[in-house]
Structure 1
Amino acid sequence: MSSKIRLGILGGGGDSLIGVLHRIASAMYDKYQIVGGVFNPVWEENIGFANKIGLPTNRIYKDFDTLIEEEIKLPVNERMQVVSILTPNFLHFPMAKKLLENGFNVICEKPMTTTYEEAKILNQTLKMAQTVFAVTYTYTGYPMIRQMREMIKNGELGKIQKVDAQYYQGWINPVIHDKEKRSTTWRLNPEKSGISCCIGDIGTHAFDMLEYVSGVKIESVLADLNYLYADNKMDIDGTVLLRCSNNVKGVICTSQIATGEENSFIVKIYGDKAGLKWEQENPNYLYLMEDGKPFRVLKPGHAYNSDLSLEGTKLPPGHPEGIFDSMGNIYKGVAKAINKEPYNNGEFPTMVDGVRGMSFIEKAVESHQKGNVWVTIENVN
């Protein structure tokens, strides 16, 4: 029998970009084998997609509950070891909770749940289950983001004094200005997405990233969100001021109506000795800025990079690596945890990251609704 980790997938069928991303990422290091799942709630499309990607159909299930029921009947050395949740947001919590309660490891898309309360319940469930849980804040897998994290941790920027993240997209423009389209899109439906669209979808990436690379904790936020139309219940643009640990200040600017922008995610961290800047659309370049010194560009694959960066680098210097590689690095880290191998705690985002992300979403919305006031992010262990 194959020694690969047996992986099940929920959602991600058809032309889903996130489905392609996870399947390629899971195959990247030869650590996983997809053995089954539920790709679509419509049986014909579900089984048709399994046939299309060449999966045996004996473990393609009609629904999630059947998957759990049938998998736990199998011997431990045959059942799925980990299940990836790629469904719309409102399904994340019930699926993850039931998987944990039945002893499965879980890889979950973000936002982890639709409410902070659900996130806290899931955290307690994980403590009881003692399995592995990862949230796919994908961009933490980039080698130069990991290099950024290690340089800051090693004090190369000195005392951190400002953090800044900008995440601009323009994809929702064709939807938001059409009353019928915006009322039928699940991203703008609170029952399926939770209380936030822009902050929940991309703002949570920025929040997690700033904490991941800088090492500071965001303690309170003041948000000003834009809904654009009175009948639209979900934010599609927003600015959030940040107060962080160690008296660090910062800002997160997010938008899905930044006309012409594709996926412009920019992360900047400034210390009293130097600053670092990274752009997702040019992910192989990490810019090092120091007063009175030439501007420097660091690139992946070179010996001057940290072990964590080099561990996530698959190609020699000069060969571009992208988002598939970033997600692949997260899957690789989860595989180490499942196999009880040593791993760096920066190799994949955890339950705590997911819970804090949910707290950020709710507090940003609360800050806006209370008239743009400061509200506190709760600590979680």
Structure 2
Amino acid sequence: MGKKIKLGILGGGGDSLIGVLHRVASSMFDKFEVVGGVFNTDINESLKFAEELGIGTDRIYANLDDLIEQENRLPEEDRIQVVSVLTPNFLHFPMAKQLVEGGFHVICEKPMTTTLEEAKILKEASDKAGKVFAVTYTYTGYPMVRQMREMITSGKLGKIQKIDVQYYQGWINPIIHDKEQRNTIWRLDPEKSGISCCIGDIGTHAYDMIEYVTGMEVKKILADLNYLYEDNAMDIDGTVLLRFEDQIKGVLRASQIATGEENNFTVKVYGDKAGIKWEQENPNYLYLLEEDKPLQVLKPGHAYNSDFSLSGTKLPPGHPEGIFDSMGNIYHGVAKAILGEEAFDGEYPTITDGLRGMNFIEKAVESHKNGNVWTSIDD
């Protein structure tokens, strides 16, 4: 086996769930090696965390400026090649832009930026640098999501006529009703989170999923968002009507105040021949609905699935695969792109997906604030 791709990480230290997810995902397929980064704004905490992970401390830096400067002094074959940006939302844009201009590939958490204008600037910088740029819309890596995409593309469902996606969580419910608490978390702080909480956090996952599995672009949206309290500047719930071309319509529902819900992300697509639905909390089941036929349940690892689905399946049928595997498939797609290897279309979400995600977030807020009116999504 050749040398592994050298990976640096920004953020994700301590008990960060997203940090664990990315580190485990990067270790799959034996393509990456975490060699350094900036895990914390306090370098002593970063050094301590690196020691806990068993990573050499010689490439743990005080800040991003030091990382870029010191790494670019090393021989090219020894440098960090790609950096994962796992910091709060407001840091995504400046860090990612500095990285691509510094000669690094980037894997960035979503939302990619806090404004559409930032996303456009970042895409221009990335295109100019010619580097791989991935945005971690994690759920696109599930084998049965990839199977859903292939079935829709192949015409199994016929002409698409209805799309319904729901992403319900309840985690913010105990916080939002306490004035003191809701003013202390960063996700409800526009300076750190951007213009949206719910739509920017989970609604963008749902939006990207719709375009990913259908291959269609949303053309117009009408959003009705819920802020619940007048002193709360960030949406924590929302419903968005969707219009595609050819009279195709859909609905996107996202909530962080759906009491008792954990991570209820459900995708349903209906054509004139069949319907299909997938639930993130039961990700190994893809339901196929056809007129006058029994319900069919498709599962990963079987030969009846597409080559794309099977390429992201690591275990035999009957062995559950989950979110770590999904993120691992995205990292594998990034590795193929960096190494110039042959890959399936859609193996990782690109900077264009990140740009469209920011476009959706901004237009959803705009639609709501303008009185719940239809608003066009830019091409």
Kept in 2, the 8 Å contact 1:216–1:246? The answer is no
Tell me the equivalent position of 1:338: 338
Deviation track 1:16-56 (CA, whole Å, cap 9, x = no partner) reads 00000000000011000001000000122111111111110
**Paired residue secondary structure (1:338):** helix
Instruction: State how far apart, in whole Å, the 2-side matches of 1:215 and 1:38 are.
Output: 37
Residue 294 of structure 1: how far off its partner (Å): 0.6
Tell me the equivalent position of 2:114: 114
**Paired residue secondary structure (2:167):** strand
**Paired residue secondary structure (1:184):** coil
Instruction: State how far apart, in whole Å, the 1-side matches of 2:2 and 2:52 are.
Output: 23
| 1:181-192 alignment runs, 5 A limit | 181-192=181-192
Residue 65 of structure 1: how far off its partner (Å): 1.1
State the TM-score, normalizing by the size of structure 1: 0.99
Residue 2 of structure 1: how far off its partner (Å): 6.5
Kept in 2, the 8 Å contact 1:31–1:335? The answer is yes
Tell me the equivalent position of 1:293: 293
Tell me the equivalent position of 2:252: 252
The letter for the 2-side match of 1:164 is: D
Deviation track 1:256-299 (CA, whole Å, cap 9, x = no partner) reads 00000000000000000000000000000000001111100000
Q: Does 1:9 align with 2:29?
A: no
Instruction: State how far apart, in whole Å, the 2-side matches of 1:168 and 1:184 are.
Output: 23
The letter for the 2-side match of 1:124 is: E
Residue 170 of structure 1: how far off its partner (Å): 0.3
Instruction: State how far apart, in whole Å, the 2-side matches of 1:75 and 1:245 are.
Output: 51
**Paired residue secondary structure (1:246):** coil
The letter for the 1-side match of 2:44 is: E
| 1:1-381 alignment runs, 5 A limit | 3-379=3-379
Instruction: State how far apart, in whole Å, the 2-side matches of 1:213 and 1:139 are.
Output: 11
Backbone CA RMSD of aligned residues: 0.9
Residue 119 of structure 1: how far off its partner (Å): 0.3
Residue 168 of structure 1: how far off its partner (Å): 0.2
Range 301-310 or range 66-75, more displaced: 66-75
Instruction: State how far apart, in whole Å, the 2-side matches of 1:131 and 1:289 are.
Output: 41
**Paired residue secondary structure (2:205):** helix
Instruction: State how far apart, in whole Å, the 2-side matches of 1:345 and 1:69 are.
Output: 34
Deviation track 1:152-174 (CA, whole Å, cap 9, x = no partner) reads 00000000111110000000012
Instruction: State how far apart, in whole Å, the 2-side matches of 1:64 and 1:183 are.
Output: 29
The letter for the 2-side match of 1:130 is: G
Residue 10 of structure 1: how far off its partner (Å): 0.3
User: Structure 2: where are the runs of 5+ without partners?
Assistant: none
The letter for the 2-side match of 1:300 is: P
- When the two structures are aligned, how many residues end up with a matched partner? 379
State the TM-score, normalizing by the size of structure 2: 0.99
Instruction: State how far apart, in whole Å, the 2-side matches of 1:367 and 1:15 are.
Output: 37
Kept in 2, the 8 Å contact 1:4–1:32? The answer is yes
**Paired residue secondary structure (1:265):** strand
Deviation track 1:126-183 (CA, whole Å, cap 9, x = no partner) reads 1110010000000000000000000000000000111110000000012111111111
Deviation track 1:82-131 (CA, whole Å, cap 9, x = no partner) reads 00000000000001101111111000000000000000001100111001
Identity of aligned residues (%): 72
